[in-house]
Amino acid sequence: MEHTISYADLCELVKHEMAQPSQLLESVAGRIANAVINSYPEVEAVDITLTKENPPMGVNCEGAGVELHLINNKTQG
């Protein structure tokens, strides 16, 4: 249990970052990944998939999204 992170704490972190206005999903995903690494420096990497449902793109689609893989170089030996 000592090497785990509380899902409730992660949820609060994500909610905080999602509450900040942003023009790009990439920016939001980057902020979330950086916040996780800053809050939990022992985390080696963060994988995020972020999708905006029914985006205002002028076409009918279910969603648009990004995937991000961020490596915490400070944990590499």
Q: Measured between alpha carbons, how far is 50 from 68 in angstroms, rounded to an integer?
A: 9
What pLDDT, on the 0 to 100 scale, is given for residue 76? 67
Residue 2 lies in a domain: no
Domain limits at 62? 7-75
Q: Cβ–Cβ contacts within 10 Å for residue 26, how many?
A: 12
pTM of the model: 0.85
**Could you tell me the pLDDT band of residue 60, with boundaries at 50, 70 and 90?**
confident
How many domains does the chain divide into? 1
Per-residue pLDDT of 22-47, as tens digits, reads 999 999 999 999 999 999 999 999 99
More confident residue, 34 or 56: 34
48 forms bridges with which residues in the sheet?
68
Residue 18 lies in a domain: yes
β-pairing, 63-71 vs 45-53, is antiparallel
